[in-house]
Amino acid sequence: MMTIIGCSKSHTPNIFNKNDLKVISDLSNQFEALDIVDEVISITNLDKISLDPADSSIVIDDIIQFPILNQEQIDDVVKYLNDNRIIKSRVVSQKDDYANIIIIPENSDYYVELTKNIHSITKKYDNAYELHYGGQAYVTGAVPGMVQKEVKILLLFGLLLMSIILLINLRNIKAVLLILFIILTSLASMFGFMGWVYHLTGYNSFYFTMMNTSMPIVLLTIANSDAVHVLSRFFKELRELKDTKKAITSTMKNLFLPIFLTSITTSAAFMMLIFSPVGSMIGYGFTIAFGIMWAWLLSNTLLPSLIVLLKWNIKSKAISKPSYIENLMKIFGRIVTKNPKKVLSLGIIGTLFAVIGIFFITVEVQYTKMFKKGNIIRDSAIFLDDHLMGNVNVLLRVSSDLGPESLKNPKNLKDIEKIQTYLDTMRNVTSTISINDVVKQLHKTIMDEDDNYYTIPDSIQQINNLLFLYEMNEESDISSLINYDADQGIITALMKTFSTIEVPGLVANINKFIDENIYSSNKNLKFELTGMMIFIVDFMWLVIKSSAMSIALSLLAIFSISTLFFKSWRYGMVST
């Protein structure tokens, strides 16, 4: 579901006026005209259920007939909505100053395209109206563009900060440019690899998603480390040997194995993500592993070649004198070698103190908390919570073992009403909908709009008659609430955004209520929790499981490779 909310102009107290209703209608029609849109629901195209006085049949008409001729038409709409608060809450804000247009896409393949089309359609209304965008489909469609923008900014600032630090340490622009060249070529090769793999295999794990935003910074750090090791050691060797070729030969002789071991173990650790239960992490692991090994290859082939080809001034301060950081490291090294036991003790104490912090980690996968204040997704989610029905949902799939037509049984419908009423009492729930709402509305309508009859009829014959009269209208459609055989249905609870921490408790409370108040007296009904809220719970545990499994397998891979190279399990343990 994709939601767009536009408020009335500043000079109007609410959206119930000719101008604003005309704009809402125009927007709804433009959205509905898109080929990738399945359905649009707004105040201007809602269906109104009424009783035809001529033959006592149920009639379904548009709630608003355009063009609007007078204020009396609008007043009738307001009266109908005020008499049907549940319906009103889905399309109008609490203070009547915002309208809600719900857009249902054909399928998830069109989220990105639909998001762009929506912004294109609403652009001309930006100055006259306050517009908000939200819903799971909108977030899914908007995130790719945000990810692309954020990656560029992140990479730019990362390279800028790194260049400054390198320049302070190496004091040689030529050396800094060489390092940046290795970094950029490594990044380009990594993304090229990702693109080729997806192009050749079509494997969805190689999509660039929000989870992949850290890839450039990870590889930037590793490629930088490889190149800095080579150039720092080269400067040190050149200071002593006074010959470029001898200096680079000595440098590579000393650094080839350490850099290779670092790269191969790090690459292997990332490769362990292939066992992650989160599919997108498989592509992440493969791509980063390739990038790391490519950075190693460039640092051992391309970089030494460039160093030999370039001319270096041995008398320059950058080469003839150690850098500030190099001198600092020498001091630090002397302290460690003179006081190994004290340093070891401090290291152990610091590590133990840090490990205790693991117990204070909070897993949070609520996407609104992933964005900072001012971000359109976060701000719109907050707006939806404050003014409309919220930003997430829980679905209860209900089925009956008694076969076709069994969900029309009054006892089953009344049990469904129990759980629906319970959901309405929950703190985060703003609205619920099920087949019960249609049945009760029809019952009330057929009884001359008497509120006392907003109830479930006592017999299945009455219920069948009501639904038969309703389905005689071409505009009628209850397929989203109950299936054709009437033995499976959906209860939808719309909810305000809430923390992941609360989810397990909410799920447990719902299941407990069902066990104690429905299953105890009705064994034929079966309820299954699903929807966004349940996805959050499942995803939370996937994140924990994925992290724990990846860490364990990574440590095992590092231990195995180190043991093999050093031919000692003790050195393998130290490396791990």
- Angle formed at CA 46 by CA 43 and CA 47, multiple of 5 degrees: 155
Q: What are phi and psi of 393, to 5 degrees?
A: -150, 165
570 pLDDT band (50/70/90 cuts)? confident
pLDDT value at position 106?
Answer: 81
Give the long-range contacts of residues 460-465, CB within 8 A, separation 24 or more.
460/405, 460/408, 460/409, 460/410, 463/408, 463/410, 463/413, 463/439, 464/405, 464/408
533 pLDDT band (50/70/90 cuts)? low
Q: Which range, 66-75, 159-168, 286-295, 458-467, has the best average confidence (pLDDT)?
A: 286-295
pLDDT tens, residue by residue, 384-409? 787 777 777 788 899 998 888 899 99
Assess whether pLDDT exceeds 60 at residue 176: yes
Assess whether pLDDT exceeds 90 at residue 300: yes
331 pLDDT band (50/70/90 cuts)? confident
422 pLDDT band (50/70/90 cuts)? very high
pLDDT value at position 291?
Answer: 94
Rounded to a whole number of angstroms, the distance between the first and last alpha carbons of the chain is: 47
Q: What is the mean pLDDT of residues 148-162?
A: 83
Q: What is the mean pLDDT of residues 491-519?
A: 86
Q: Answer whether 33's CB lies under 8 Å from 103's CB.
A: no
Q: Which range, 14-18, 116-120, 477-481, has the best average confidence (pLDDT)?
A: 116-120
- Which residues contact residue 13 at a Cβ distance below 8 angstroms, ignoring those fewer than 6 apart? 96, 97
Which residue, among 108, 205, 98, 220, has the nearest Cα to 156 in the 3D structure?
A: 220
Q: What is the mean pLDDT of residues 271-281?
A: 78
178 pLDDT band (50/70/90 cuts)? very high
The structure tokens 């006026």 sit at: 17
Q: Which range, 61-70, 88-97, 259-268, 273-282, has the best average confidence (pLDDT)?
A: 259-268
The structure tokens 């590793």 sit at: 222
23 pLDDT band (50/70/90 cuts)? confident
What is the helix (H) or strand (E) element at residue 354, kind and residue range?
helix 340-356
| E strand residue ranges, 180-336 | none
pLDDT value at position 247?
Answer: 92
Weakest mean pLDDT among 115-124, 462-471, 482-491, 521-530: 462-471
pLDDT value at position 352?
Answer: 92
pLDDT value at position 55?
Answer: 60
Mean pLDDT estimate for the chain: 83
pLDDT value at position 5?
Answer: 56
Q: Answer whether 271's CB lies under 8 Å from 258's CB.
A: no
53 pLDDT band (50/70/90 cuts)? low
133 pLDDT band (50/70/90 cuts)? confident
Assess whether pLDDT exceeds 70 at residue 216: yes
Tokens at 326, concatenated: 């190099």
Q: DSSP label at 97?
A: -
pTM across the whole model:
0.71
Assess whether pLDDT exceeds 90 at residue 248: yes
Three-state secondary structure call for residue 271? helix
Of residues 259 and 477, more confidence is placed in 259
Helices (H), ranges, 45-172: 71-83, 85-91, 111-122, 136-170
- State how far the Cα of 163 lies from the Cα of 142, in Å rounded to an integer: 32
What is the helix (H) or strand (E) element at residue 253, kind and residue range?
helix 244-271
Q: Answer whether 272's CB lies under 8 Å from 536's CB.
A: no
- Which residues contact residue 333 at a Cβ distance below 8 angstroms, ignoring those fewer than 6 apart? none
Q: What is the mean pLDDT of residues 251-259?
A: 91
Q: What is the mean pLDDT of residues 117-136?
A: 83
Q: What percent of the chain lies above the pLDDT cut of 70? A: 93
114 pLDDT band (50/70/90 cuts)? confident
pLDDT value at position 57?
Answer: 65
Tokens at 291, concatenated: 């990038």
Q: Answer whether 142's CB lies under 8 Å from 116's CB.
A: no
Of residues 1 and 406, more confidence is placed in 406
Assess whether pLDDT exceeds 90 at residue 179: yes
Burial zone of 395 (CB within 10 Å; 0-12 exposed, 13-18 middle, 19+ buried): middle
472 pLDDT band (50/70/90 cuts)? confident
Q: What is the mean pLDDT of residues 35-39?
A: 85
pLDDT value at position 246?
Answer: 93
Q: DSSP label at 65?
A: P
Tokens at 556, concatenated: 């095992």
Which residue, among 58, 35, 32, has the nearest Cα to 47 in the 3D structure?
A: 58
Of residues 78 and 61, more confidence is placed in 78
pLDDT value at position 536?
Answer: 67
Residue 229: how many other CB atoms lie within 10 Å: 17
pLDDT value at position 190?
Answer: 93
Of residues 275 and 411, more confidence is placed in 411
Q: How would you classify residue 567: left for phi > 0, otherwise alpha for psi between -120 and 50, otherwise beta? A: left
